[in-house]
Amino acid sequence: MAVIKPFRAIRPAKDKVAFVASRSYEEYDKKERNYHLKYNPFSFLHIINPGYKFQKTIFGEERFTLIRNRYLEFLEEQIFVKDKAESFYLYQVQKGDFTTLGIFCATSVLDYRNDVIKKHEDTIHKRELLFANYLKSVGFNAEPVLITYPQNDTIQNLIAKKIEKTPEYDFTTPDKKRHRLWCVTDRATIVNLQKAFAKIDIIYIADGHHRSASSNLLSKDLEAENERHSGTEPYNFFLSYLIPESEIRIYEFNRMVKDLNGLTKEEFLIKLDAHYRIEKRDDGLYKPTRKHHFSMYLEGEFYSLYLRKQVYGFTDALSELDTHILYKTILEPILGIRDLRNDKRISYGYGKHNLIKMKDSIDNGDFSVGFSLVPITMEEIKAIADANLVMPPKSTYIEPKLRSGLTIYEI
């Protein structure tokens, strides 16, 4: 049974929310980030980049302390306000034909430990520790974990009734996304939503594996320090955004490699032939359309690679994953890429127009070869998670990407 908990959010004042909520820090390049910091005094970026105020780059505990100070200043100046009642928060994002509607809530670290909340990615312990220390120092979490649940008519009906009312927030950002948020404070709806989720055996992390792992570490740390630990303290939960599985979009990451590991083009193609039927494409940009088929761009030409299934054996959910197949048949044995996360010879790209960007990068000599895949499905993510397996790095790029500072959970 999945446990969800309402909470008293710290969130932007209604007249300032469009200025406060920001994209993830890493999504801004330096020029754009500095523009927002210079001209928007309400941006959440001022909190997570406190060194800007002093025109200085600040690291470690000193940075964490200043983040806490900026956060308290936003509260003192009533840029942020704290809700009086515990609530669930329904949040909808719309752009073009893509709409997602989910619930900001607190989810349980016990569910995380007991695999009620399933994972499909590996995490780096050093990053877990860093973010756990960050959370402990600043005392709040502003970046929710994206979690999916199976389609559920009871939940959807409860949500549908609530969004008939006027939203608390309704604003559009420069990326043409419309954002709306409703506060659910009535006890009956809160209890009914909790009962509905209690009937769901498993929910799945879509994005935010390091954030959830760090919250788990922090919970263990604070529990050990608290002689009166009861299990109800805020550190026993972490900020999440729950949406139906049908409302996420999954994109692929292309792979680009700087060289052919000492091989000529002909030698490389001969080695590929062991696992693939290779066809040169004469129809311009080529993108694969189904599992176990890959697009390759090499020396100005596109090729389609069709996996020889008689040669490559499927043994489990991981062995059927295209990112794993590419790694086990090409990247590691032929191109010598063993560490997909840290090897400087490999790079990744995502997005609607990334095939063109991949081609341009190779034509410009930045890379020698590139591979395009079809996106991984939600069913594949669940199969990996259910088998307690781990996907290779950069297997999925998942939307929605959530804004920071919209609802903040105090620890």
pLDDT digits (tens, 9 = 90+) for 223-243: 999 999 999 999 999 999 999
Q: Residue 320 pLDDT > 90, yes or no?
A: yes
CB 346 within 8 A of CB 257: yes
DSSP 330: I
SS (H, E, C) 344-389: CCEEEEECCCHHHHHHHHHHCCCCCEEEECCCCCHHHHHHHHHCCC
91, with CB counted inside 10 A (0-12, 13-18, 19+), is: buried
* pLDDT score recorded for residue 283: 75
Question: Residue 118: beta bridge partners?
Answer: 204
C-alpha distances in Å from residue 298, one per residue of 30, 83, 211, 271: 32, 57, 38, 14
Q: Among 59-73, 187-201, 343-357, which is the least confidently predicted range?
A: 343-357
* pLDDT score recorded for residue 24: 87
Read off the tokens for 176. 């043409």
CB 198 within 8 A of CB 3: yes
The mean per-residue pLDDT over the stretch 339-346 comes to 95
* pLDDT score recorded for residue 347: 96
Handedness of CA 205, 199, 113, 325 (dihedral sign): negative
- What's the pLDDT tens digit per position in 110-132? 999 999 999 999 999 999 999 99
* pLDDT score recorded for residue 284: 83
364, with CB counted inside 10 A (0-12, 13-18, 19+), is: exposed
* pLDDT score recorded for residue 379: 97
CB 88 within 8 A of CB 101: no
CA 184 to CA 188: how far, in whole Å? 10
* pLDDT score recorded for residue 398: 94
- What's the pLDDT tens digit per position in 369-408? 999 999 999 999 999 999 999 999 999 999 999 999 999 9
Residue for token pair 């127009």: 353
Handedness of CA 258, 263, 265, 268 (dihedral sign): negative
Question: How many CA atoms within 13 Å lie on the side-chain side of 67?
Answer: 23
CA 134 to CA 129: how far, in whole Å? 8
Largest CA distance in the chain: 70
CB 401 within 8 A of CB 23: yes
Q: Residue 351 pLDDT > 70, yes or no?
A: no
Question: Residue 64: beta bridge partners?
Answer: none
Share of the chain above pLDDT 90, in %: 93
SS3 4: strand
pTM to 2 decimal places: 0.94
Amino acid at 297: Y
Question: Residue 91: beta bridge partners?
Answer: 102, 181
CB 203 within 8 A of CB 117: yes
Residue for token pair 């009533």: 78
Read off the tokens for 131. 């973010």
CA 104 to CA 193: how far, in whole Å? 12
* pLDDT score recorded for residue 48: 94
The mean per-residue pLDDT over the stretch 13-26 comes to 94
What is the chain's Cα-based Rg?
A: 23
